[in-house]
Structure 1
Amino acid sequence: MRFLLLLIAAFFAATPAVADEIRPFSVEFSEQSDGYWTLDWKQPVSALNGTEIILPELPTSCAVEGDPVVRTVNLAYIGHAKVLCEGDIAGETIALPQLLGGADALVRVLPLEEPVQTYRLTASESSARIVAQPGTMQVFWTYLVIGAEHILLGWDHLLFVIALVLLVQRGWAVVKAATAFTVAHSITLVASTLGYAGLPQGPVEALIALSIIFLAVELTKAGSETWTRRWPWIVAFAFGLLHGFGFAGALREIGLPEGEVPAALLAFNVGVEAGQLLVIAAVLVLRAAIQRLVPKAEAPALKFTTYAIGITAAYWLVDRVIS
């Protein structure tokens, strides 16, 4: 029992205060005229090696003209440089070998009158080969991974899904609630990303935290047949609309590749759903294991988890309201 509680405590202790933001290292390499390019990059604090400013490594046929211009904005360095390239850069590489640990980077290459190329770099795969003609699957795979990472590392969405599964419990009811949440956040994600709807990101983030608190309070009413317990799919759908605006805000920060917006949107949403299904399956399996192996531990573990979720969400709510 003590070991179980320690595991749960360690999980929530690792939860970051900034929960819903995707802040990868982003790079945009854009051709302005024949041979003349601009390099723009955003380097978040989490990707820094101390206070070192990282300059992406360009194709060997390219050289930076003059000194790059770097400024600091919202815990990130924003860099800009003019670049001169000789000949075609297809077949050459662009790289960020300085990436550390779990840091990643989204790189966009924009040749003149050619489709945008999108690459995801990591510490283990820190370079990408620029192709002459990118395929749709390249974009699809990149944004699918980003979507899956967002639900698995976006702690507020993660805690909402966990609380929802703990509240509903039953298999078929969990499927209906999860489906309602999926349909709802898909609607607002697409509508917001395409410009048909939108809400200010600050209030959205605060309301997402409030939605988690709501589910945590419902979890404390064990044995009570509340409206939420009777109709969980309605609550999941309503809050799913709200969470969709949160997903859209994260996707706006990353950016969508021109000419491949439908594929990127679909892939991001599929990635989110894949991550969500993994979370649901893990929670159901863990709870079933506790019920089978240490049934007396279920009630105190559930109580501890409920209060941990509620306290974490309450902290996010206060932090997001006052910041």
Structure 2
Amino acid sequence: MKAPLSLLLLRTLIALAMLIGSASAFADAIRPAYLGLTEEKPGEFSVLWKTPMLGDARLPVEPEFSGDAKAVTAVTTRTPPGAAVEQWTLRAPALRGQTLRIAGLDGSKTDVLVRIEFADGTKWVQRLTGQETSASIPMRQSGWSVAGVYLKLGVDHILFGADHVLFVLGLLLIVKNRWMLLKTITAFTLAHSVTLAIATLGYASVPDVPLNAAIALSILFLGPEIVRSWRRQTSFTIRHPWVVAFAFGLLHGFGFASALTSAGLPHSDLPLALLSFNVGVEIGQLSLVTLVLLLERSFRILEIRWPRWAEMLPGYAVGSLGALWTIQRIAILLAVSH
């Protein structure tokens, strides 16, 4: 393994470590919330408010409107696995122009996907986060703006999803040949694009708990392969990394899909959401790979040399985090099954 690449990966892993705490170590444990409003008759909206569960408690976030908006029916609640779903009817004669705020979202690790459909057929889609907890409801929203919401969601999901990032970095540690790297990343992309589409369109699904354990296991699997590559040994993975990337890419695609399917989007939004989200995932993934390769070349030109322990640390970090997540998620899987 070249020292310049090691330096970059070391810095990347240190940055990830700052993002990974006891709760966020489960990279996909907290799903986005979803707020859907549909105007059934002028000024009256049916509301669907779906929030993830933290253990046995609902995530403590609530929607608030700046203007006249009052519930006119009682709130009904049901609790499917991992979520709380509330429904009621809201009277809001002038919803456009109001500011929607999600109380309790400040500093949260979850997002809220908001979708408002008006009786005239127009709709507003927005994503609110712990850093941007409110937004003004516009008079109109362009299709490009809606696509941009899902595209940014895809970019963030790959760049801030620690398990997906570590898997790609693990591949970069194993694959040295640039042509083989292109084949490997392409295979991973094709695989997760297929399962992302299949899962999002509702043709297949994988329960979140075993899926997260399997994704963690895919990272752990790369650890010994990285060590073999250091020792100039060979294995099926080292000879044919694109096959392994394709196989595990199928798993990661289901993981990507959970960011969309867990929100419970209407079927009318799925084609646009799927396309835009997938493009965002690819932009995030290719940005990461391109950054690694460009910095590797820059550091090679500078002829920087680093201690042996610094060269080896990223590989051991990938394997160690994979092992930690595998143990944690299998423990959750066993607890749920009992």
* TM-score w.r.t. length of structure 1: 0.83
1:166 to 173, 180, 188: 173
| Maintained 8 Å contact 2:30/2:52 | no
1:240-261 residue CA offsets vs partner (Å, 9 max, x unmatched): 1121111112221133344232
The reply to whether residue 36 of structure 1 matches residue 44 of structure 2 is: yes
Shift in CA distance, 33/118, structure 1 to aligned 2, threshold 3 Å? same
1:96 to 87, 102, 105: 102
Distance in 2, matches of 1:259 and 1:73, equals 23
Q: What secondary structure sits across from 1:260 in the alignment?
A: helix
| Maintained 8 Å contact 2:44/2:90 | yes
| Maintained 8 Å contact 1:117/1:257 | no
The reply to whether residue 27 of structure 1 matches residue 35 of structure 2 is: yes
Shift in CA distance, 63/272, structure 1 to aligned 2, threshold 3 Å? same
| Maintained 8 Å contact 1:22/1:250 | no
Distance in 2, matches of 1:55 and 1:82, equals 15
| Maintained 8 Å contact 1:180/1:233 | yes
Distance in 1, matches of 2:36 and 2:254, equals 25
Q: What secondary structure sits across from 1:37 in the alignment?
A: strand
Distance in 1, matches of 2:221 and 2:69, equals 54
1:44, CA displacement in angstroms? 5.6
The reply to whether residue 194 of structure 1 matches residue 201 of structure 2 is: yes
The reply to whether residue 212 of structure 1 matches residue 219 of structure 2 is: yes
Distance in 2, matches of 1:299 and 1:288, equals 19
Distance in 2, matches of 1:265 and 1:179, equals 19
Distance in 1, matches of 2:77 and 2:200, equals 29
Of 238-247 and 289-298, more deviation after overlay is shown by 289-298
The reply to whether residue 147 of structure 1 matches residue 154 of structure 2 is: yes
- How much identity, in percent, do the aligned residues show? 38
| Maintained 8 Å contact 2:99/2:134 | no
1:207, CA displacement in angstroms? 1.4
Gaps of 5+ in 1: none
Shift in CA distance, 171/53, structure 1 to aligned 2, threshold 3 Å? same
Q: What secondary structure sits across from 1:96 in the alignment?
A: strand
Name the structure 1 match of 2:336: none
| Maintained 8 Å contact 1:118/1:257 | no
| Maintained 8 Å contact 2:35/2:112 | yes
Partner AA of 1:11 in structure 2:
L
Gaps of 5+ in 2: 333-338
Of 172-181 and 19-28, more deviation after overlay is shown by 19-28
| Maintained 8 Å contact 1:26/1:254 | yes
Shift in CA distance, 131/75, structure 1 to aligned 2, threshold 3 Å? same
After TM superposition, the structure 1 = structure 2 runs for residues 1-323 of structure 1, keeping only pairs within 5 Å, are 8-9=13-14, 11-12=16-17, 14-15=19-20, 16-21=24-29, 23-42=31-50, 53-58=60-65, 60-65=67-72, 79-86=86-93, 89-96=95-102, 99-101=105-107, 104-112=111-119, 114-122=121-129, 123-124=131-132, 126-132=134-140, 134-221=141-228, 222=230, 223-293=232-302, 295-297=304-306, 299-323=308-332
1:34, CA displacement in angstroms? 4.2
* TM-score w.r.t. length of structure 2: 0.79
| Maintained 8 Å contact 1:27/1:107 | yes
1:164, CA displacement in angstroms? 0.6
1:161-212 residue CA offsets vs partner (Å, 9 max, x unmatched): 1111111133222222111110111011101211223333322221111111
Q: What secondary structure sits across from 2:205 in the alignment?
A: coil
Distance in 1, matches of 2:51 and 2:303, equals 47
Shift in CA distance, 96/174, structure 1 to aligned 2, threshold 3 Å? same
